[in-house]
Structure 1
Amino acid sequence: MNACFLSQNQNPDPRQYCQLNNSMPLLRLFFDGQSDMHADFRLSRASFNALMDAIGREADHGWGPEIACLVFLFWLASGTSYRVVSRAFDMPRTSVHRAIHTTSSKVASLFAQTVHHPSEQELVNVGAGFARLAGSAAFSRVAGSIDGCHVRVKPPARDADCYLNRKLFYSVQLQAVIDHTAKFIDVCVGYTGSVHDSWVLKNSPLYLERKYPPPGYFLIGDGGYPCLSYPITLMTPYRQPLRNQLQAAYNSRLTKARVVVERAFGILKTRWRAIFLKALEVDIRYVPEVILCCTILHNICLSQGDVLDVLDDEDGIAGAAGEEHPEREAAPPGTVSGAQERDRLAGLCCAPQDHDYI
């Protein structure tokens, strides 16, 4: 992950010059203890408290971690300049800059404990959840649904072409694996928009380290990915035209199971729409950390039951299972096709079901 870490000015007693103006509307809203925080900060008080418990409440500068976190969240939620954030909090612009970068670094440090692969017991529940989504026990060994999202950016002038994607806007890619509850369990962020989804996959730690999914389990993805049984097991839809009813049944079940990844990206875009629905105007080196923070905050909010209504997927984040993908690539060298395993799953999709998904 690329990040921009900024040095902090030292002061023997920063509290001497850090004085809050509690009359500012955003601070009044926060300090009243009851007002809804969603409109300005995009999360609930329960989610905010869970976040503060995770990053710690000990003061490391004069404004304190809670105020710094509010500044960071308001910046994420609004997508405005440091100047506008400075006015909203009546805080020096240099303090806003430091609060945003310090807090994003703290949030990013929560990645390992917040975005991680499920345990062996949790994996059983994940598989059962996907079987329920698909309506078929054939999907009870699904370990997650994989997909990608293009995040709009302002590219560096000398490398702009590298960021231009097939939809003709500049972007950085977020690859994610989602469990049955729309929780992020694996994230790879930072590759430029010009490369194909399958290229991102085969250059990601998920693929290179081969630690997930474990033996006996598989991921599901859309038609932009190759169907594989090695080095990871990844099941994708049959391509059109379909040959028989077995393939149609399998594609239908896969679509139902995969809808959760579209929902996860939809929730992410809805909560942080200023980040995901317009070009992110920060140093390109800082972009991966910002996106990573959004996925971490997504999981924290999910754990608190803090879920927003999903916006329409106007950018077409994920294609429907079985549709033609305009740039679908063949399986990379050194891989083993998953076609045989997919045929087996297709047969199970048409077998009698007892609906016991655990």
Structure 2
Amino acid sequence: MIFLFFICHSLIEEELRRRRRRRSVLFRLNEVINLSVPVLERFFNHEDTRPDFRLSRESLAVLMRLLELDRRWGAELEVLVFLFWLASGTSCRVVSRVFGIPRSTVHCIVHRVTGEVVALRHKVIHLPTNDDFEAVTLGFARLARHRAFRRAAGAVDGCHVRIRPPSGSDGQSYRNGKLFPSIILQAVCDHQGRFIDTYVGWPGSVHDARVLRHSPLYQRGLYPPPGHFILADGGYPCLQHPLPLITPHKSVGAQRFNFHHSKARSIIEHAFGMMKTGFRAIFFHALEISSRCAWKEPRSPPQLQAQTQKEGEKEQKKGGRTNIDHDSISLIKKFKNKVSWELTGNMVSCK
């Protein structure tokens, strides 16, 4: 009986501590988050998040769970600031005005969350497992409409990400054939357009074949398995080792083969198109960051797209909801009519 009493007492104490922590978090959120900001107001009113952040609520919940931010107060605000900056491609000054927080805070949030997202890329972007590999090969055969492409295990291509080139003579090496400065993002996708490998960082003037030769996928030869190949366009060489690569035939009588090859390989172009549509600002405007950090940012869009395709569908099937404590948000909103917010210098004050 004494042992049971101590167990009940400890459980009650733990519940009281949890409530005190929650009360403390509510007051801290009340002091920091300005709910009159239109972007946050739409988010907390359960409106569609895709126009502002390019991700659905289910995908936002998955991203926060992967980042393990559930127990960090203000984690939702950090992720929203990062996604808004990534989706709009604007400067930290503009993001600070949109969210009503200091520019230095936006700068710290963007770089910190970017590092956390990039560190998780192997959890989202990875090569197919043995159980999924057969589905990948069958999928490419269906795309090509010919059983000869049943040994296709992926499609590779590259795209240019606009940047502001560094000053000096090195800046000219970043100008590509379209005469704008960029870095190259090389990606391999499966039959569903899901990225399974990415490699980024080479200047835009470098040829795609050279980028491929220096990529870990080529040098390590870990994928595809023996007897399979990866599809590529005419800008790549046709290879057997260490990376089996099949490109279109250049002979006159190869139209039929090239037709089926193009049908299967076009999935990588479709994947790039979906990514560029979701994050237009990154791919159609120069990144407002230094060239030293530019290699990190292009890793985020393919990772977020792969996460949306892989995890977001599971959340929708399960009827999952976001990990945001909406009861806490409703309590915060009760203060809204009583509190007037004022942005003063680098801190938000409550009158």
Helix, strand or coil for the counterpart of 1:187? strand
Matched with 2:249 is 238
The CA distance in 2 between the partners of 1:272 and 1:18, in whole Å, is 32
Deviation string 1:80-135 (CA, Å, 9 cap, x unpaired) is 11111111111111111111111111111111110010012211110000000000
Q: Aligned AA for 1:102? A: R
The CA distance in 2 between the partners of 1:166 and 1:59, in whole Å, is 47
The CA distance in 1 between the partners of 2:123 and 2:221, in whole Å, is 20
Question: Of the two, which has the highest radius of gyration?
Answer: 2
Picking from 286, 305, 324, the partner of 2:293 is: 286
Shift of 1:57: 2.1
* Structure 1 stretch displaced more, 294-303 or 218-227: 294-303
The CA distance in 1 between the partners of 2:31 and 2:287, in whole Å, is 29
The answer to whether 1:77 aligns with 2:87 is: yes
Matched with 2:75 is 65
Runs of 4+ in 1 over 3 A off after TM superposition: 15-18
Matched with 2:162 is 152
Q: Aligned AA for 2:49? A: M
The CA distance in 2 between the partners of 1:185 and 1:206, in whole Å, is 11
Shift of 1:16: 9.3
Matched with 1:56 is 68
Picking from 23, 45, 65, the partner of 1:32 is: 45
The CA distance in 2 between the partners of 1:174 and 1:191, in whole Å, is 8
The CA distance in 2 between the partners of 1:74 and 1:59, in whole Å, is 22
Q: Structure 2 unaligned segments of length 5 or more: list them.
A: 1-24, 315-351
The answer to whether 1:211 aligns with 2:218 is: no
The answer to whether 1:98 aligns with 2:105 is: no
Deviation string 1:25-55 (CA, Å, 9 cap, x unpaired) is 111111112x111111111111111111111
TM-score, normalised relative to structure 1: 0.77
Q: Aligned AA for 1:117? A: L
TM-score, normalised relative to structure 2: 0.79
Matched with 1:336 is none
| RMSD of Structure 2 on Structure 1 (CA) | 1.8
- Contact kept in structure 1, 2:64 and 2:70, CA below 8 Å: no
The CA distance in 1 between the partners of 2:61 and 2:258, in whole Å, is 42
Picking from 267, 270, 275, the partner of 1:260 is: 267
Picking from 199, 208, 216, the partner of 1:197 is: 208
The CA distance in 2 between the partners of 1:119 and 1:16, in whole Å, is 42
Matched with 1:41 is 53
Q: Aligned AA for 1:27? A: L
Matched with 1:343 is none
Matched with 2:306 is 299
| Aligned length, in residue pairs | 287
The CA distance in 2 between the partners of 1:219 and 1:26, in whole Å, is 43
Helix, strand or coil for the counterpart of 2:76? helix
- Contact kept in structure 1, 2:194 and 2:309, CA below 8 Å: yes
The CA distance in 2 between the partners of 1:17 and 1:126, in whole Å, is 49
* Structure 1 stretch displaced more, 48-57 or 125-134: 48-57
The CA distance in 2 between the partners of 1:27 and 1:166, in whole Å, is 41
More helix by share: 2
The CA distance in 1 between the partners of 2:149 and 2:102, in whole Å, is 54
Shift of 1:305: 4.5
The CA distance in 1 between the partners of 2:272 and 2:313, in whole Å, is 17
Calculate percent identity across the aligned residue pairs.
46
Matched with 1:107 is 117
The answer to whether 1:21 aligns with 2:34 is: yes
